[in-house]
Amino acid sequence: MSWLEHVSFLKFSRGCTSAYFERLLSVVSDLGSRIPVLNLHHIAGMLLRNSVLKSLPGTSPFGIACRRSASTKSLKETIEEVIPVKQAHLKKLKTEYSDTSIGDVKVGNVIGGMRGLRAMLWDSSVLDPEEGIRFHGLSIPDCKKALPAAPGGKEIIAESMLWLLLTGQVPSPEQTRELSRELAQKGNLPSSIESLVDSLPRTLHPMTQLGIGVAALNHDSSFQAAYEKGMKKSEYWTHTLDDSLNLVARLPALAARIYRNVYKPGAALPEINPDLDLVGNYTNMLGYGDNHDLTGIPSTGGNASAHTAHLVGSTLADPYLSYSAALFALAGPLHGLANQEVLRWQLSMLKEVGEEVSHDTIKEYLWKTLKSGQVVPGYGHGVLRNPDPRFIALQEFCESKPELMNSPIIQLVKKTYEVAPGVLKEHGKTKNPYPNVDAASGCVLYHYGLTEFKYYTVIFGVSRALGCITQLVWARALGLPLERPKSYSLEAIEQLAKSGSS
């Protein structure tokens, strides 16, 4: 069957409109000269779910990505179908646009932490300053509508988000449940890792313990073992995927063991329940029941921890070593401690003004904070210029739970949001006067009884793995090279600046 016959079949079997069909035909005609004819499943996946098509005018990313096939294919089989299309897209970029500029590099970018530089390929998500984060074209509200929830829950199940990130497709409930079962089967820690973690001093920071534990999981790395045996480059991604899924599966048990050792010594650690999803097992092992409504939202690639994972992974370090490095970046005070700082600030306000807070008392406290030379924690963002959609999602979650809306700390978060943007605009020293996700996340954890501030970043580290391992898998599938930017001294930068301005 030819390309045209394949696409014509899709038009009638999938019920495509004529305009939609014309766009499909345009994409196929363009790609047809670059990649071999694939089977019907490959083409259907490409046309209905691939990001190439999502960029076409008039095509709704949500409408495409939320199409669920009746496929019972595994995660690995689904990724394998998408790889040739992504490889063809990358080849097209290299062939047609390698010498095309996509922005200027200013001295301020170089000496300002590379902020704003368009210098990194991260295909699973894009952060728009106005709209917020999108995962393969889907906003957070889109994801909440399209992605399966856990049985008995209303929030996105982590496994469905992982599937979306890795494939660009929305999984069926059956595929999601099968992935949950697979991760549960892989979730137990090797006895050597249990012994290692148990031997660490309770006074060692939980994030340090997590980084040590993840690095030690490298002992059983599929990628490292296969690399030492001389595997082909085309096989890199499969072993990276194996390691990545093992890492995601074992993180809850590792993080829960650290929590029990540090904060509840001697308490029994529940076994992994094969009938629970990843987050359900994690919260159960922490001792807070199988709360299906708690999940994390991955971030984009330019932040310090995600970039660290990508950078270390580009050396062909296995996912365990790569993500261990990312965790140590996340442990830095400028990166992963924000929700703790917000919570401390909110509790300090609550202590000073009391539980019966008004907009006026909050406004006074905000000005007191600003006039003391401090920033209002939880407000502002390096990229966003509107309220963080992740914050909005947390607010909606709180509003759906009467027990949360009756919580003094949650009420304070809500009322602060109603006042703070106006105060910050009047103050005039912030580009974004709106809340980010940290403005609420720590307070929600605190309400549920998890009051150990130092542990909050560990939870952050467990959820962030979903996005980081996705990048590692696709970097190997696409054959991305070792990251190696060029560096300059202060004098060299000055000379370049002078020659450029003359």
Domains of the chain, each with CATH number or no CATH: 182-478 (1.10.580.10)
For residue 119, name the pLDDT band (cuts at 50, 70, 90): confident
Average pLDDT, integer, range 206-218 = 98
Per-residue 3-state assignment (H helix, E strand, C coil) for 330-354 = HCCCCCCCHHHHHHHHHHHHHHHHC
Least confident among 43-52, 184-193, 306-315: 43-52
Query: Given a cut of 80, is residue 155 above it in pLDDT?
Result: yes
Average pLDDT, integer, range 1-14 = 42
Query: Given a cut of 90, is residue 23 above it in pLDDT?
Result: no
Helix (H) or strand (E) holding 218: none
pLDDT for res 500: 79
Average pLDDT, integer, range 5-21 = 42
Query: Given a cut of 60, is residue 70 above it in pLDDT?
Result: no
Percent of the chain at pLDDT above 90?
66
Percent of the chain at pLDDT above 70?
83
Give tens-digit pLDDT for 319-357. Answer: 999 999 999 999 998 888 888 889 999 999 999 988 888
Catalytic, 438? Answer yes
Q: Catalytic residue among 335, 359, 427, 447, which?
A: 335
Average pLDDT, integer, range 237-261 = 99
Catalytic, 381? Answer yes
Rounded Cα distance between 419 and 415, Å, is 7
| Best CA proximity match to 94, nearest among 16, 34, 167, 135 | 34
Q: Catalytic residue among 243, 277, 318, 438, which?
A: 438
Answer with the residue of higher pLDDT: 464 or 26. Answer: 464
* Average pLDDT over the chain, rounded to an integer: 85
Average pLDDT, integer, range 276-304 = 75
For residue 411, name the pLDDT band (cuts at 50, 70, 90): very high
Query: Given a cut of 60, is residue 41 above it in pLDDT?
Result: no
Q: Is 179 exposed, middle or buried (0-12, 13-18, 19+ CB in 10 A)?
A: buried
Average pLDDT, integer, range 443-451 = 91
pLDDT for res 335: 87
Least confident among 71-75, 228-232, 355-359, 469-473: 71-75
Residue for token pair 């009322």: 415
Catalytic, 275? Answer no
Q: Which residues of 332-366 are buried (b: 16+ CB within 10 A; e: fewer)?
A: eeeebbbbbbbbebbbebbeebeeebeeebbbebb
Answer with the residue of higher pLDDT: 431 or 35. Answer: 431
Average pLDDT, integer, range 419-435 = 91
pLDDT for res 72: 79
The pTM of the full predicted model, rounded to 2 decimals, is 0.83
pLDDT for res 35: 42
Query: Given a cut of 80, is residue 145 above it in pLDDT?
Result: yes
Q: Could you tell me which residues are beta bridge partners of residue 126? A: 134
Encoded tokens for 282: 């994690």
pLDDT for res 338: 84
Phi-psi region of 401 (alpha: psi -120 to 50; beta: other; left: phi over 0): beta
Q: Catalytic residue among 381, 388, 427, 447, which?
A: 381
pLDDT for res 300: 54
Residue 234 is given by DSSP the state G
Least confident among 370-374, 435-439, 457-461, 497-501: 497-501
pLDDT for res 115: 84
